[in-house]
Amino acid sequence: MPRGGANFSSEELVRVLSHYDIGIVHRVKPLTAGNRRAPKVIVTADKGVFLLKRRPRGRDDQQRVAFAHGVQRHLAQKAFPVTSLLLTTHEQTTALSLENHIYEFFRFVAGARYDGSAEATREAGRQLALLHKHLADFNAGDERSPWCFHDSAMVRRHLKLICCDKRTEASCQAQTVAEELLLRYDKSSVRVNELGFASWKRQVVHGDWHPGNLLFSDQQIVAVVDFDSIRVAPPVTDLANGMLQFSILADQPDPARWPAHFDRGRLFQFLAGYREIVRLSERKRYGLVDLMIETMIAEAVLPVAATGFFGNHSGLDFLQMILRKTKWLRRHRHELREVMLS
C-alpha cells in the first residue's frame, strides 16, 4: 500500500467490495493520485476494471455526496465525459456508507495526462464551458456550497493569522509577504465587486478544474474526475481558476525556483476554448485577471496558515512564489486584458 497517506486494509476492501456485483476480484492495485487522505485502488474483476475511492472522514456528509452524484448523473445524461458510478447490489446507492466512511465505486477510464499542447489546453477550456452549459438548468435546491475564493472572510482571516505569527525569523518573513498578499487580495476583490459580481448568475460549477482532474486521448478529454469541490457560484470563478491552473509555470520541485510569469499561450488558448461555447460579457472578461489573483492567493494561504506548509513545500517559499506571480499579473494586467477583451 502507498506510504505517506491513508490506505485500505485488506479486511476493509473485502467488506466494501462485497457490496458490488463485479464477479471474482483478480487484482487490486493502489492508485497514488490526488488527495492523499482519499485512498484509491484499481480493482480488476470478472466484470471489468473499476476504481474504488474512500472519501476523507469528516469532509462530506451523505447529503453532499448525493448532490455530487446527482450532478454527475445529470452530466452523463448530456453525454458529458464523466466516469460511471456503480450502484451497490442491495442498497442501490452510489454512495456506500460503512463505519463513518463513504465509498464511491467507478468504472475505470484509461487516459493520458495533460500534455501542455495548445490543442489539449483549448479542449480543457471548451469542456469546462460545456460543463457550465449543461449545468445551467440543474436545480441545486438548498445546497450549502463550500466557500468561494472571491472576497472571502475566511481567506482574509487566514492571511491575518500568518501576519500575527512572529515566533521565528521565517514567521516574520512570512508576515511581511502575507501583508502584501492581503493588500493585493483586497484590491482585486474590490475591483471585481465594482464590476457587478453580486449580480452575476450563480449555478453549479466544478470548483477544481485543473490538469490532474482531466484524462485525455489524442488531445481530447475522455473523462473528468473529482467532483468533491462542486459548488454554487458564478461560472466565471471556475473559468478564472482554470485559466490559472492551465497557464501557471511550475516545472521545478522547489517553488522558490518557479518563474514569476505565466504561459500566455496556454492562458489565451484556454479562454478561447471556453468562448467557443459560452459568450462572456465584457465586464466578466475584464475581471478575469483579478479573479486569477484572488484564487491563487486563496488556494495557497489556507493550508499555509493551518500547517506552515503547502503540501511538502515550505510555507514561506510558497507564499513568496505566489507574491511574485501576483506581481507579474498586476504588471501585465493591461496587455492581458487587451487580448481577453478582443
Which pLDDT tens digits describe the chain residue by residue (342 residues)? Answer: 333 457 899 999 999 999 999 999 999 999 887 677 789 999 999 999 999 999 887 655 788 899 999 999 999 999 999 999 999 999 999 999 998 899 999 999 999 999 999 999 999 999 999 999 999 999 887 766 667 999 999 999 999 999 887 666 667 888 999 999 999 999 999 999 999 999 999 999 999 999 999 999 999 999 999 998 999 999 999 999 999 999 999 878 899 999 999 999 999 999 999 999 999 999 999 999 999 999 999 999 999 988 888 888 999 999 999 999 999 999 999 999 999 999
Cα separation, 316 vs 313, whole angstroms: 9
Cα separation, 54 vs 39, whole angstroms: 6
The DSSP bridge partners found for residue 216 are 112, 221
Phi, psi at 30, each rounded to 5°: -60, 145
Let me know: does 65 contact 73? Beta carbons within 8 Å: no
Per-residue model confidence (pLDDT) at position 4 = 44
Per-residue model confidence (pLDDT) at position 261 = 96
∠ CA 100-101-104, nearest 5°, is 150
CATH no., domain 118-340:
3.90.1200.10
CATH no., domain 10-107:
3.30.200.20
Let me know: does 195 contact 283? Beta carbons within 8 Å: yes
Which residue matches cell numbers 448568475?
A: 201
DSSP letters spanning 145-207:
PPPPSTT-HHHHHHHHHHHH--SSHHHHHHHHHHHHHHHHHHHHHHHHHHTTGGGS--EEE-S
Per-residue model confidence (pLDDT) at position 5 = 54
Where are the CATH 3.90.1200.10 domain residues in the chain?
118-340
Where are the CATH 3.30.200.20 domain residues in the chain?
10-107
Per-residue model confidence (pLDDT) at position 3 = 39
Cα separation, 275 vs 55, whole angstroms: 34
